[in-house]
Structures are given as structure tokens and as C-alpha cells.
A and B are shown apart, each in its own frame.
Chain A
Amino acid sequence: MADSDGRQIDSINHAADGDGKGHGIVRAKTEGKELTKEEKQRLRKEKKQHKKNKKDDKVPTEKEKEKEKPSVQAPSKPVTQSPTHKAAPVPVSASASESLAAAEKPVKTKAELRAERRARQDSERTSKQGKKEGGQQSTTSKPKASPSELQPVVKRLPEHVQVDDPAALKKLAKKLERQQVPLRSDYGYKVSLFSHLHQYSRKNPPTQQISIPATVIHPSVVRLGLQYSQGIIAGSNARSVALLHAFKQVIQDYSTPPNEELSRDLVNKLSPYISFLSQCRPLSASMGNAIKYIKKEISNIPSQCKEEEAKGKLQECIDSYVNEKIILASEAISKYAIEKISNGDVILVYGCSSLVNHILCDAFEKQRKFRVIVVDSRPRLEGREALRRLVKKGIRCTYVLISALSYILPEVSKVFLGAHALLANGYVMSRVGTSQIALVAKAYNVPVLVCCETYKFCERVQTDSFVSNELDDPDDLIVTRNGKTHLENWQTVKSLGLLNLVYDVTPPDFVDLVITDLGMIPCTSVPVVLRVKNVDQ
């Protein structure tokens, strides 16, 4: 039977290589056997389990702790006929034991992983047997099995979308207090649909409670946070690059305290900085990926490496990341994009995307004849900056506000959009207004091309713009004309709320092509790229 085979293969492969994570795939690849449907399912479940365990290793629940002791012995024995009541707690406690073991030395993890996999196989076998035998056993095993099976799959919601939950807020406050990062308070009335998001005011800067020679938080991180909150550094690429620059300075000024290892201590040092930056402005997807990369690089530094050498290596890593993922990627994207720009084109762009500007400037240098229509929207009016850069280059431009979109669209031959992030289900997250542009362009049958580097690809899935977004300062919407500011006292009017959204999501049906540094792909291929990236890493 496939199960017993699987167990044998298990033991062989455990001996072969130590990495428990890629086991399923390695097993399948090395053996070259055709995977049955249940094996595929099992592989997927294993991977999910591993991912969840690596996240949850800090919070073992009481239930898991209790069950851990009695069941430690159970997984080590090959159980042929495990009773159904054990089947349920075993996967849960196995995950707990594995999670606790993950914190300990790697030698133990191997055994735990092996044991845990065996236990899971057994439980699945028994649940299948139970199904065959009769409904009774399966019903008893199923409800017990299903909540525990579901548990590894449910992910924790990130804090920044749980602002209306007092428990989450308390947790955040405690965490910030522990890290000595000041908590920034929300401002003004929030529209009820978005009350689960933070809304900060520029008049309460995040530096109000930080001591003036910033000691807890590195000065370059404080400077970066200020620049984020005031909008001096805006735009996905700019934010990531500035973040990496600040981290370079942090690494340069870092010195390992005695009895600590650089690979672990430096990562701990970075956490309060990241909390502070997310208090200044919620992190973008590109920043999140950059942080993940740095943390991985830091923890991969071998312990016998000297401090200076390690620091130099990290600086190099950061430089090469920026070079590969941002600079060279934009060159590659512009090379692909130029094929799509033909002479006599009328190109519509929205807001100020550094990548799209770069593409257009490159195309102009390569003697393509086209003109550009820049669409802009309040309150940011970023299109003015895009307009300035394009006109400075010499490109013929037209400038309209988004309300004139359907008027101008009959003239347009192509729409180029930038993206803040590309989500795993193919949705494009970009500046608010982008989905409108894509929608109207679709109605007029104008092709919509989204340009995005691969490092902005995100594993999140979103189908609407409400779940996870960013609320900017509502006072930005207030405008003074002819000396009169009508919205000056908007807070006193009970029934009035000002909403300043920053992002929105565009469904993949409206996007015709995504131009990335890997090539030109349809929107639905984003999960493939993500999968390939994960395998590579």
C-alpha cells in the first residue's frame, strides 16, 4: 500500500538529507514515482503544517502543552492501530512538540519531524479506515480531526487590520512598550467600514515621545520614519530603497554584545525599528519582502564568521538586492515594455509610478514617437510630479484629473499602470483610482498593462479594498480657496466623516498583461511566480 511505502521512503530520505521542509518534494523527485492523489494532498498539507509551525513556535497553547508530555512517546513508536481518540491530539501536539523543538537544536528537530510525519500518516490512515468501516468511527474521529486539521491552516490576522479589536490593541500596546517604541494614537472619526484600520494625523508626529538624541531607535531609522510619515519618501520602490539604506547604516553602527551571536542578536535589534516604522506608516509589501530577505541573510551568517566580515557581507547582500531586484529589474521591464510601445501611441498613465516613468523615458530615448496623458487625482496630486519628469525629458504630455477619464479615453491606445503590490490571486494593489482606470479602459477596450517588479509580489489574497488598506491623514482633504476653509471644523459635525484611502485592488479581469522582470505574464500567473520563488529560496 502506498502508506507503508511512504514510511519506508521516509526513513531513507531522512537519512539522506537533513532538511525536513523540502522532504515531500525531494521524496517525489528522487523516487521518480508517480504521485497519487493522496500523496499530493499529503505533500500540500505537510508544507502548510511546516509553515504554520515555524510561525507559531512562540505561542504553545496550554492544551498543546498538556498533551505534549503524554504524546511524546506515542509518535516515536510506529503505531499500527492508533486509537481514534489519540488521532486528534497527536497532530496538534506533534505540531507543538515540533514547534518547541524548532527553538532547540536542529538535531532533535529531525527526529521530531520524522515522528510527526509518521503520526500524521497514521492518523490519516486510521481516519480513512474509519470511513471504510462505518460511520460511527468516522464521525467520532472526524469532528475531532477537523478542528485540529483546520487549526494549522488558519493564519493570524496582522495587527494593522484589527484596530477595532480591543484585545489586539492591547497586545500591540504591550509589544510596543516592551520594545520601547512609542504608540501613535489614532486621529479623528473613522468611517465605519474602515474602522479596523489605523488613521494617523501628520500633526502628531511619531517622534513626539522619542527622546531627542534618539537612543532606543537608531537615528537613521528615526529619520526614515519621519520621512515616511511626512511623505518625503513615497512610492513603493523609494520606500524600500530608503529602508535598505537605513538598515545598512544600522548594520554599520552595530556591535555584537558579548555572549551574543550576530545572526540572532541583530535580528532582535531590528524588530523595534520595524515596529517604529510601521507606527509611522504601515509597511508596504515591497518593504515586507525586503525585510524578510534581510532577516534571512542575517540568520544565515555562520557563527564562526568575524563581525567585520559579517557586516561587510551583509552590506554587499543589501547592495546586490537593490541592484538585482530594483535597478536591473527596471531595466529588464523597460526592455520588455518597449516592445509594446509603438510609434503614434497615446499612452495613459496614472499618478506617479517610478517604474512607468522610467519606461517612458527609456522609450523616448530610444526614439519611439508617442504622447502621454497623465491622469491625476486628489488629494495627493502625484501626477504633477510625473508630469514634471516627463516634460523635462521632452515628452509631449496632457494632464487631466480622473473625473475627465471617460472623456479622454477614446484617444488612448494603451494604459500603463504601476503597482504597489501584486497579490497571490492575481489582483493588483495600487494607488486608489487605479481600479477605476482599469474598469473604464476595459469598457473602452483599451489594453491595460501593469508594470511591476517581482519583489513586490505578495502572498496575501484580497478581493476587495476594504479588508486591508491604509488610511491617510483626513485633514489632507481640506482645501482653502479664496481664504475660506469650509471643512475646517469637520470634526464637530457628527454625521460627517472624511476618508482618505491610499490603495485599491484591481481584479485580474481588467488587466491584460503584467510586465515583470521575468517577462510578460498574465495576471493569473502570479501564484506560479511566487511558487517558483519560494522553491528557489
Chain B
Amino acid sequence: MELQAVLMAAGGGSRMMDLTYNTPKPLLPVGNRPLIWYPLNLLERVGFEEVIVITTKEVQKALSTDLRLKTDVKMKLDVVCIQEETDMGTADALRHIQQKIKTDILVVSCDLITDVALHEVVDLFRAHNATLSMLMSKVHEFTETVPGQKGKKKGGEQRDFVGVDVTGKRLLFMANEADLEEGLVLRKSIMRKHPRMLIKTGLLDAHLYCLKRSVVDFLVHNKSVTSIRGELVPYLVRKQFSKSLNSPNATEDSEKNQKQQDAHNNLELLSTGKDEPLLQLARERSCWNDHRGDMSEAYHGGKLRCYVHIMEEGMCYRVNTLAAYIEANRVAPKLFDDPSIHPTAVVTERSLVGSDSIIGPYCQILEKTSIKRSNVGTSTTIKEKVKIINSIIMNGVTIEEGCNIQGSVICNNAVIGRGADIKYCLVGSGQRVEPEAERTNEVIVGSDQLMEI
């Protein structure tokens, strides 16, 4: 087997707690499908037959009961449950399932919505025999107003500095702004090997990684690595240019450093073990080189290589903030051609449902209601004379007559009282908005939830 897919669905959605305090992030509805459906669909479309899903118990239950997930997803899902309380990082999760991993792996995050041609990423992995191959995309500016945000978007998102070589495929440098206190430091060895480097900052990491099996073995030996994105990837990118095993390192002579060195060198040992003499011979005889201008052979003789595929066009969203969630809801319905109004929804004659809205199954929409550019979830009841513009209504919501909802997100099982006027608000799960209320730019959540940080 060539690749095993691992879907990381245990994350808590820490950056959009208002949405996720009641519903786990993988089950948030986007375009009337649970968020986890999108990566599963991507894997299925490409040809995977089995996926290892690492998630919590609640999501596991939903995977077996949710209609959409059960019928649409034809792959075999091997669900591994982890406790919610243990703060497991993605790398810890990989270590947890180490027994199941027999070949190279493709790690996907549950909040990725994309229509990328996955073979571009995997081809880099295959052709260059890379240790790591990942997907990045140009960041799309979010144009929709986000409820609850006061003033302009604060640049809370720390930038990622990504350095690639001239071809734009080889990953030379990766660091997050938070780690660069004194400034961006480039090692001379990198500059000597790749004199031309392009550093990009406007890129979004899609959290889709192809990793070699030896990396998983390395994780098992080095228990200090907890997160793939935060620690493992920058480490691998740095390790491409570190001194090889053969050259003696005069500066590190203390034993502790030696042990660390040994542990870190394990990675190279593990990845070079397989290089057969025939492969060596083929590479020697081949008249190809990946760079020009110096005397070294292809890949500078390095065994560890990291590649990145940067998507120029196409859809790629990571739903980990409220703004991204809203944007994804706008765009995701284009990914599949479901009819915009579900056949089981009851839409009366005199109501107006715009063509860019989608109505989920078992909805009830009564007269004189107008719905424009909105997503309405499952089993929602919308009474007469309601105007819904640019909003996201999740499942089981009841909206009484005469309401006016604009640019808002209404979570599961909320009730909006009669005649309420809601603009750019987020109504949390199960909340009630009293009739004739007028809310603008507010986050309405229960008082017990306010204590959650």
C-alpha cells in the first residue's frame, strides 16, 4: 500500500469557542453538511478506501448515526477515540496510533475545505522521494462582516514566513512570526546551496501533510514533539540543511548534547536505510540535477527533502475562526451540486428563496418569507414574514414571524422570538432571543458559557 490517510478530528476549535462550546468542531454544519464531511469527501474522491479518524467519543457517535456521514461516505473509517481532557497534540496523536501505521501517511485536518488536485501534493512526495510534502494556499481576504467583531480585524493571526526555492516547490525555510523574536535568521548553509530564495508571507497552511513512515518512527523516539505544524514541520525543514552524520561536530561535546544529537540523527538513519545500491546507481547515471551553478550532485546529496505545493487558484479554507466559518459557508455549496432546496423541505408558494441560498432537509418555510444568500440547516422552522439575508442558520432553529435577520450566525436549536431584529450577531446554541429584540453586532451566548476561556 502506498499511503494511509489519517484524519485529525480531535481539535477543540479553540479560536471559535462561541460556535463550538456545544457542538464539536468536526460536526459544525457548513453548507448543511458536517465539517468533517469535506475532508472525508476529498479523500474519497481521490481514491482512498480506508481512513484512520482520530477523534472524540461524541464525534464517533455522530459518524455512525449522522445520515449524511453514513450514506455519503463509502470508505472504511477506522475511528480511534481519545479523551477530550488529555491535551493531545497532533504529533502525540500520531504516536498514539503508531501501531496502525504501516506505510507513508497523509495527515489531513478535519477543518480543511478544498478542491485541490491532491495528486499535485502527492506527486512531489513520490517523484522526489520526499520526507514531507505539504499543501499551502494563498490567503483569501475575508469580505464578510464577522458578528461580534468590534472595529477592524485585529491582526491577531501571526504571519507565517515560508521560504521556497526558485522552482517554488522545495521548502527551504518555515517559521512563524511568534518564533522570530530577534528577526529572521537564515543559515549560511542554506544560502550557499540555494542562493535564490523566495520568502512568502501571505500563505495559509492547509494542514495537509504527506509524511514518510520514518517520521512516525522518529516521533516515537522523540516524545518531546507534540504538534506537527508547530514543531515537527519546522524541525524537518531545518534538518534538511543540518550537518550530516559523517561530519564531526566539534562544538557539541557534552553527553547530554550527544544524546540529543543521537536522537535527532535517528531520523536520518531511518530515512537512509532503504536507499538501495540500484537506486544509487540510477541516480548517479541520470543526467538530471535540481539546481545549477555549483559542484554538488542532485539535491546536494541530502537525504531529507521537504516540498510544498502552493495553490494559486481554487478553493482552500481552514475553518478555524468565525470569519473562516462564515466564508466557508458562502463558498462550500459550490463544491457539490446538491439542489439548493432539499426535496424534503417544505417551502410554501409565497415565499422567496434566492438561488444562492440552500435549504436543508425537513425545513419548514412559511409564507412571505424571503431568504437571500443564506444557508438554512436541517429541521428549521421559519415562520411568516421573516427576512433572512446573508446569514447562517444551523439545525433545529425556530424563527418566529416577522423577524429580520441579517449577516448573522444562528446556532443549533436557538429560538428567535417574534419580530426580532438581529444584525451581525452570533446567537449561541440553544439560546432564546426575546421577541421585539434589537441586537446589532453582538455575541449572544449563555451565561454559563461566558466563563469558558
What is the CA–CA distance of A403 and B46 in the complex, to the nearest angstrom? Answer: 48
Report B-chain residues with C-beta under 8 Å of the C-beta of A241: 278, 281-282, 285
> Considering only CB atoms and an 8 Å cut-off, how many residues of chain B contact the other chain?
33
A213 touches B278 (CB 8 A): no
Is A498 positioned at the interface, with any CB of B under 8 Å from its CB?
no
Question: Within the complex, which residue of B49, B276, B288 is in contact with A233, where a contact is CB–CB below 8 Å?
Answer: B288
Q: Which stretch in A125-133, A223-231, A442-450, A516-524 binds the other chain?
A: A223-231
The CA of A200 and the CA of B46, in the complex, are separated in Å by 23
**CB < 8 Å: which of A219, A230, A235, A384 contacts B2?**
A219
Q: How far is the CA of A212 from the CA of B119 in the complex (A)?
A: 7
Say yes or no for A36: interface residue by CB 8 A criterion.
no
Contact A234 B288 (CB under 8 A): yes
A249's nearest neighbour on chain B, judged by CB, is: B276
Known: A233-B286, A241-B285. A210 touches B119 (CB 8 A): yes
Q: 1/0 contact trace for B280-308 toward A, CB 8 Å?
A: 01111111110010010000000000000
Contact A213 B127 (CB under 8 A): no
Q: Is B47 an interface residue (CB 8 A)?
A: yes
Contact flag A226-B126 (CB < 8 Å), given A219-B2, A242-B282, A392-B295: yes
Residues of B within 8 Å of A136, CB to CB, are none
| B122 cross-chain contacts in A, Cβ below 8 A | 207, 212
A233 touches B282 (CB 8 A): yes
Question: Given A230-B127, A248-B278: A212 and B286 within 8 A (CB)?
Answer: no
Instruction: State whether A212 and B46 are in contact (beta carbons under 8 Å apart), knowing that A237-B285, A352-B287 are contacts in the complex.
Output: yes
Is B1 positioned at the interface, with any CB of A under 8 Å from its CB?
yes
Q: Does A525 contact B (CB under 8 A)?
A: no
B453 within 8 A of A: no
- Tell whether, in the assembled complex, residue B2 and residue A232 are in contact, meaning their CB atoms are under 8 Å apart: no
Complex contact A235–B118 (CB within 8 A)? no
Task: Judge if A261 is at the interface, Cβ distance under 8 Å.
Answer: no
Scan residues 365-396 of chain A and give those whose CB is less than 8 A from a CB of chain B.
382, 384-386, 388, 391-392
Contacting pair A232 B47 (CB below 8 A): no
- Is B128 on the interface with A (CB-CB < 8 A)? yes
Distance in angstroms from A260 CB to nearest chain B CB is 22
Cβ-based interface call for A205 (8 A): yes
Any chain A CB within 8 A of the CB of B21?
A: no
Within 8 A of A (CB), among B96-153: 106, 117-119, 122-123, 126-129
- Nearest-CB distance from A163 to chain B (Å)? 25
Measured CA separation A231–B126 after assembly (Å): 14
A215 and B50 alpha carbons, distance in the complex (Å): 12
> Contacts A207-B119, A213-B2, A322-B278: A235 and B287 contacting too (C-beta < 8 A)?
yes
Question: Which residues of chain B have C-beta atoms less than 8 A from A244's C-beta?
Answer: 278
The answer to whether the Cβ of A144 comes within 8 Å of any Cβ in the partner chain is no
| CA A392 to CA B294, docked complex, whole Å | 10
- Per-position contact with B for A192-227: 1 when CB-CB < 8 Å, else 0? 000000000000010110111111000100110011
A window 439-457: CB within 8 A of B? none
- Choose among A223, A322, A391 the residue that contacts B295 (Cβ–Cβ < 8 A): A391
Residue B279 is within 8 A (CB to CB) of chain A in the complex: yes
Interface string of A65-92 (1 = CB under 8 A from B): 0000000000000000000000000000
Bound-state Cα–Cα, A322 to B4, Å: 33
Q: Are B126 and A234 in contact (CB under 8 A)?
A: no
Which residues from chain B contact A382 at a C-beta distance below 8 Å?
287
Interface centre among B122, B126, B283, B286 (most CB of A within 10 A): B286
The winner among A208, A226, A231, A382 for most chain B CB atoms within 10 A is: A226
Q: Is A496 an interface residue (CB 8 A)?
A: no
Whether B3 sits at the interface, judged by CB under 8 Å, is yes
B48 interface residue (CB < 8 Å to A): yes
| Cβ of A388 to closest chain B Cβ, rounded Å | 6
Closest approach, in angstroms, between the C-beta of B95 and any C-beta of chain A? 22
Given A219-B2, A354-B285, A212-B48 contact (CB < 8 Å): yes
Task: Please encode chain A, from 419 to 431, with 1 for each CB lying within 8 Å of some chain B CB and 0 for all others.
Answer: 0000000000000
One of B1, B5, B286 near A232 (C-beta < 8 A): B286
Question: Hey, which chain A residues are within 8 Å of B287, CB to CB?
Answer: 234-235, 238, 351-352, 354, 382, 385-386
Residue of A nearest to B128 (CB): A232
Given contact pairs A242-B279, A382-B287, enumerate 12 new A-B contacts (beta carbons under 8 Å): A213-B48, A226-B123, A226-B126, A230-B127, A235-B287, A239-B282, A241-B278, A241-B282, A245-B276, A245-B282, A352-B287, A385-B288
* 3 closest cross-chain pairs (CB), A and B: A211-B47, A352-B287, A238-B286
- The chain B residues found within 8 Å of chain A, CB to CB, are 1-5, 46-49, 106, 117-119, 122-123, 126-129, 276, 278-279, 281-289, 292, 295
23 contacts between A and B (CB under 8 A): A210-B47, A210-B119, A211-B48, A215-B1, A215-B2, A223-B126, A231-B288, A232-B128, A232-B286, A232-B288, A233-B286, A233-B288, A234-B287, A235-B285, A235-B287, A241-B278, A248-B278, A319-B278, A354-B284, A385-B288, A386-B287, A388-B295, A392-B295
